[in-house]
Amino acid sequence: KNEVEQSPQNLTAQEGEFITINCSYSVGISALHWLQQHPGGGIVSLFMLSSGKKKHGRLIATINIQEKHSSLHITASHPRDSAVYICAVNSGGSNYKLTFGKGTLLTVNP
Amino acid sequence: ETGVTQSPTHLIKTRGQQVTLRCSSQSGHNTVSWYQQALGQGPQFIFQYYREEENGRGNFPPRFSGLQFPNYSSELNVNALELDDSALYLCASSLQGWNTEAFFGQGTRLTVV
């Protein structure tokens, strides 16, 4: 069993829909990262969370440390949101050795 | 744009050859981490360099080695390339410390034939 599990693996939505991507982890962590990866490879850091909730534009990330679970929400989804969304956890204290989930491929159709 | 630059962007090598990948870290960042991402998988931690020394290593054989220079840029070297080394190689720069944010480069796509 992977230390970081994401669901769903693939998600197709219509423009405007509310999107939720889930991440569960099995180790103690000091922080959780949500990352976005577009075709071609480059990764962009969306959020780093150690508790509670963060919001940036149409993106919202929440984490429940007791339940070892985090969610990434996208409101009013748009075709440009289509990408792979990756959850990664930092269990080492310092920021090295991030452990990544396999990612969720999101496709938003116009 | 993160300010983390990787070169080259794409590379094709033959099995048994050696390859060097480069990463220029974001200005002010003293730590570079390298990851391997096989097709359809999440990235796997290779190693991290902090102030020119290796500061942690994942489950990769010794033929994966690295360097960090005084300007904090870094190289990943892979000797005796194998077909399974074909992957996207990502570097991330950050400040050393508790839960500092990492900034990723665009990656180098390595194909071993």
Rg (CA), chain B: 13
Per residue in B21-46, pLDDT tens? 999 988 888 889 999 999 888 899 99
Contact between residue B85 and residue B70 where contact means Cβ atoms under 8 Å apart = no
pLDDT score at B99: 65
pLDDT score at B2: 60
pLDDT score at B113: 97
Contact between residue B110 and residue B85 where contact means Cβ atoms under 8 Å apart = yes
As to burial, measured by CB atoms within 10 angstroms (0-12 exposed, 13-18 middle, 19+ buried), residue A73 is middle
Please name every residue paired with A85 in a beta bridge, in sequence order, or none if there are none. Answer: A36, A104
Using a CB–CB cut-off of 8 Å, the residues of B that contact A are 2, 31, 33, 35, 37, 40-45, 48, 55-56, 58, 88, 90, 92, 94, 96-107, 109
CA-nearest residue of chain B to A97? Answer: B45
| Inter-chain touch B99–A90, beta carbons under 8 Å | yes
pLDDT score at A101: 93
pLDDT score at A76: 96
Per residue in A1-52, pLDDT tens? 678 999 999 999 999 999 999 999 998 888 899 999 988 778 888 999 989 9
What are the contacts of B45-54 at 24+ separation with CB within 8 A?
B45/A96, B45/A97, B45/A98, B45/A99, B46/B76, B48/A96, B48/A97, B49/B74, B50/B96, B51/B96
What does the pLDDT average to over A50-70?
Answer: 95
**Chain B nearest C-alpha distance from A24 (Å):** 15
pLDDT score at A42: 81
Q: How far from A7 is each of A21, A87, B69, B102, CA to CA, in Å?
A: 6, 10, 40, 24
Per residue in A67-82, pLDDT tens? 999 999 999 999 999 9
Kindly state whether A10 is in contact with chain B, defined as any CB-CB distance less than 8 angstroms: no
Model confidence at A92, pLDDT cuts 50, 70, 90, reads low
Low-confidence residues in chain B, pLDDT < 70:
1-2, 97-99
As to burial, measured by CB atoms within 10 angstroms (0-12 exposed, 13-18 middle, 19+ buried), residue B32 is buried
